[in-house]
Amino acid sequence: MYNVTFYLRRAHSLAGLFCLGAVLFEHIFTNSMALGGPKALNGALAMMELIPPPIFLALEIGAIATPLLFHGIYGIYIALQANNNPGRFGYVRNWNFALQRWTAWFLVVFLIWHVGYLRIFTKGMTGTPISYELLQNMFTSSPITTVLYIIGMFAAIFHFCNGITTFCMTWGITKGPRSQKVVSVLSMCLCAALCLVTLAFMSSYFLMM
């Protein structure tokens, strides 16, 4: 008899690592072009527009939306079953375990808002292209929006980077405490680096006004 939970958790970890990872790195790379000013970012966004709309939509639905919806919905189920108590134990792993769940809850709300506003409403319904000028105006006109986006990016980065550690444990790549600690440290270093890049390109919208 097949262990359905076993395979669902494996599929959940795969969808999170590769799909979330691909979307996250694409967003960070593209948005980091803002450090070069309007021309650099708009040029990077224009490259995305070269993909034929039907193919781009199919990629969005099949390779991004569907896997992330599965990861999110099944992740909510896992989170509801989890027993988080970092205050009692105080270990780094327990705090990371709790933060993984807390960032997941935040990301559900944040991504609905982000995708709903920029992708569906702004680009899809009004036909307004995403540009450096649009993003700069959005961030500089609302400090609350800026803070929420930074927190959202930090949450996604931590969720992904800590997910690397749990992925390696789930798939038996890191079997001992020493190898698990090494991967955890490297993952948190990657987390710190990506957060710094995020702060840099978010700050550029204010410095280049």
Q: What is the pLDDT of residues 7-55, one digit of tens each?
A: 888 899 999 899 889 999 999 999 999 999 999 999 999 988 888 888 9
The pLDDT assigned to 90 comes to 52
What are the Cα distances from residue 205, in Å, to 40, 106, 132, 143, 150? 13, 24, 8, 12, 13
**Mean pLDDT computed over 77-84:** 73
- Let me know: does 35 contact 201? Beta carbons within 8 Å: yes
As to burial, measured by CB atoms within 10 angstroms (0-12 exposed, 13-18 middle, 19+ buried), residue 149 is buried
| Total-model pTM | 0.91
The pLDDT assigned to 1 comes to 44
Q: What is the pLDDT of residues 88-140, one digit of tens each?
A: 545 677 888 888 889 999 999 999 999 999 989 999 899 999 999 999 999 99
**Can you give the residue ranges of every domain in the chain?**
4-207
User: CATH top-level class for 4-207?
Assistant: mainly alpha
